Amino acid sequence: MDDAAARAPEIGSPRELAALLEEHGYLADEAVATAAFLALRMRRPLFLEGEPGVGKTALAQALAEALDTPLIRLQCYEGLDAAQALYDWDFPRQLLHLRAAEAAGVTDPARLEAELYDRRFLVARPLLRALQVPAGQGPGVLLVDEIDRADDEFEAFLLEVLSDFAISIPELGTVRAAEPPVVVLTSNRTREVHDALKRRCLYHWLEHPSYEREVAIICRRLPQVARRLAGQVARAAQRLREADLLKPPGVAESLDWTRALAALGVRELDPKAAAVTLGAVLKYREDQEKVTASGLEALLSGG
């Protein structure tokens, strides 16, 4: 048995995985824990879709911590191409080496080319790094964040990589993962991701947490905060999500709001405290104006 296998926790069920994730600060419900467990057991990528702030990225981070393996994150954006995600050559260092070799009298073209395209000049981007995690560190968790922001061409390229977990570098040959990484893809559904990529993955839609679970998350992440305040913030966040806002708050915003209140020494969420900290939970002027016009008292009543 290798070091990675000896160190990796034995996870026999979704319940065991949920308990392990909770140890690392992520409270997964049964559906999320089951989806993540099946992805691990079946060695399939996990495609997480949902509104911003529901915990998609946090799940990948918690998985890496729970499995005691590196997290490699690829943040997607419009215009992302294979070179930016896979590898590149360190041109400035290659140029310096070429000048040094010429100064030393090396003139053999074949030797110069072999030296220039050596692994020491290879800049590994996230996808290549995910295939090269050292054996003693486990398989690694590859987080492909916000795949819906990337272009169709990159989607097709990613599908090819996920099918073989191998890439070809013309100057060096084929690089293949000794152990395929655990892959988590996230999408905020700003556009539809192609069916071919979804078919390669297990799919799970992440909802905003229930009131009780959100209180538990706040208390777990911010243990110094009184449960009453956590409950008031969670109740207000739940109501804000029902208010037809441009950007309803996610759990990340609930946590930020609670941190802001705690930093001001607030022990109870009242309209005055809400008014001065509203920027921690609502990030659009129109949303703030809409909520303020509707009355903060109504937002907080019964909290």
Q: What is the DSSP string of 183-240?
A: EEEEE--SSPPPHHHHHHSEEEEEPPPPHHHHHHHHHHH-TTS-HHHHHHHHHHHHHH
Handedness of CA 211, 213, 217, 220 (dihedral sign): positive
247-281 tens-digit pLDDT: 999 999 999 999 999 999 999 999 999 999 999 99
Q: What is the pLDDT of residue 282?
A: 96
Q: Report the percent of the chain where pLDDT is more than 70.
A: 96
Position 9 scores a pLDDT of 58
Using one digit for the tens of pLDDT, what is the confidence trace for 45-98?
Answer: 999 999 988 999 999 999 999 999 999 999 999 999 988 999 999 889 989 988
CA gap 161, 151 in Å, rounded: 16
* pLDDT classification of 2: cutoffs 50, 70, 90: very low
H or E segment to which residue 182 belongs? strand 182-187
Instruction: Flag the least confident range among 6-10, 14-18, 109-113, 254-258.
Output: 6-10
Both tokens of 271, joined, read 């309209």
Q: Which residues, in sequence order, are bridge partners of residue 123?
A: 88
Helix (H) or strand (E) holding 48: strand 46-50
Average pLDDT over residues 6-32: 86
Q: Which residue has the higher pLDDT, 113 or 155?
A: 155
Q: Where are the alpha helices (H) located in the chain, listed in sequence order?
A: 3-7, 14-23, 30-42, 56-67, 82-85, 91-103, 109-116, 126-131, 152-164, 195-200, 211-221, 227-240, 251-263, 271-277, 285-294, 296-300
* Structure-model confidence comparison of residues 110 and 303, the more confident one: 110
Assess contact for 4 and 70: CB atoms under 8 A.
no
Give the separation between CA 234 and CA 51, rounded to whole angstroms: 17
pLDDT at 101 over 50: yes
Of 298 and 198, more confident: 198
The answer to whether residue 8 scores a pLDDT higher than 60 is: no
The more confident residue out of 53 and 182 is 182
Quick one: pLDDT band at residue 142, thresholds 50, 70, 90? very high
Q: Give, in order, the Cα–Cα distances in Å from 141 to each of 23, 68, 94, 211, 264.
A: 18, 10, 31, 30, 37
How crowded is the C-beta side of 75, counted as CA atoms within 13 Å? Answer: 0
What mean pLDDT is reported for the chain?
91
Q: What are phi and psi of 211, to 5 degrees?
A: -55, -50
Is the pLDDT at 6 greater than 50? The verdict is no
Window from 5-19, 33-47, 70-84 with minimum mean pLDDT: 5-19
List residues bridging with 206 in a β-sheet: 50
Q: What is the pLDDT of residue 178?
A: 85
pLDDT tens for each residue of 108-129 = 878 877 888 888 899 999 999 9
Instruction: Give me the mean pLDDT over the 163-181 stretch.
Output: 89
CA distance 145 to 188: 9
